[in-house]
Structure 1
């Protein structure tokens, strides 16, 4: 138990120091660091420093549980990135074609012809997104990875199953039931400002290809969320 408490204390300290380092120099106090933590010498500077520190405490209170979730997501992202790096661009594309091509081929025998065409289109889009995710991840830089690589990877993973669920009643009960809950949450919380939710409920029904369009739209902020959580995990528990 003491080891767990010490680990949490280290994580919280690192997160708070990362927050302070956004505006103030030399805030991370590693064991091997010769210089101590920087603090302002003026009264106004100290007021700003302590105000930012108090705000950082609130950030840590909210951010630490998210950072723990990011640790799990970081391992999954690292595993996927490590696999794609070993495979290379062509290998990543081949794996995507193999997986989603097999699903598209199976849909030829299970779905209508229009469903088969939709699955082929979804497989092509997902394969292209897998390639884009690989390329963006190789560019380097946290911003590129979070803003571009993660959304492309989420689209590559989730688009074909959503399209398959559109034509499969058994799978659709699972995916679309969750879709309605997700859509309701977004309408009542994210899109409530300015009456956007009322307009969408009046003008559009969550039926047919609207499910696919919704999940395509969700994949972008979902990818950003995954990237942010992984970044929090890196701040709390940096890897070698």
Structure 2
């Protein structure tokens, strides 16, 4: 049997863009993304349908141009998430916990051997605990339920395992706090002045919260969760545009 040649870079780009635009069209019109061979792709018939169809298609062109770079990130995130999920499946949840405990335990021992202060040792140990719990939750949520559970819970838990450990460790290490908290404060000011300046959100946050101590942990948790949702949605979009062979 003759083997089908893989599409080149330009062909793959064209296919991705066509499917991305078809996904946009599917929001209002039926049988656009994956029409059946028997029924075929839906086409407008009346003048009103034609105007609505082509107007909606035109509106989708700039959105496709903006979304495609994010889609490329979704492809990359899906690749690495698949590798991590495969490794986690092989060793199981207890294996993930054990690997994390051993890794962070070795870091704690290394900190002790380097004659860290008691605060430094506690900082490393607490960071390891946070990373271990978050990683275990990410694995559990990725296996329980379906796509929605993974997007809503698993990806945010994974991002939490990445972002929170150094912030939690900074609560116990003044040296680390001088780096983490100072840069976190700078980031918080930028977010309030730019991203969250719409609708008075920045003023509400400034009046109700003081960025000190545990508030830094809450801040990064508030960043990790939406980022996890975004990554999960981009991976989902990548699955729609370029499905993987099972």
TM-score by length of 2: 0.81
The alignment status of 1:110 with 2:149, answered yes or no, reads no
- Deviation, 1:93, is 1.5
- Deviation, 1:236, is 3.2
Q: 1:96 to 1:121 in 2, by over 3 A?
A: same
Secondary structure at the counterpart of residue 239 of structure 1: coil
Aligned to 2:29: 24
More helix by share: 1
Q: Say which of 163, 167, 179 aligns to 2:184.
A: 179
Greater relative CO, 1 or 2 (CA 8 Å, sep 6+) = 1
Aligned to 1:37: 41
- Deviation, 1:177, is 5.4
Q: Say which of 165, 175, 180 aligns to 1:169.
A: 175
d(CA) in 2 for partners of 1:186, 1:202 = 15
Structure 1's consecutive aligned runs of 4 or more residues displaced over 6 angstroms after TM superposition are none
Aligned to 1:157: 162
Secondary structure at the counterpart of residue 228 of structure 1: helix
The alignment status of 1:129 with 2:134, answered yes or no, reads yes
Conserved 8 A contact 2:164-2:220: yes
d(CA) in 1 for partners of 2:178, 2:233 = 30
- Deviation, 1:165, is 4.5
The alignment status of 1:60 with 2:64, answered yes or no, reads yes
Q: Say which of 97, 101, 123 aligns to 2:101.
A: 97
d(CA) in 1 for partners of 2:163, 2:197 = 26
The alignment status of 1:49 with 2:49, answered yes or no, reads no
Q: Say which of 3, 10, 34 aligns to 1:5.
A: 10
Conserved 8 A contact 1:89-1:135: yes
TM-score by length of 1: 0.82
Aligned to 2:143: 138
Deviations 1:110-162 (A, max 9, x none): 2434x544544443333222222111111242221111100011112222223
d(CA) in 2 for partners of 1:39, 1:234 = 25
Secondary structure at the counterpart of residue 100 of structure 2: helix
d(CA) in 1 for partners of 2:75, 2:107 = 31
Aligned residues: 236
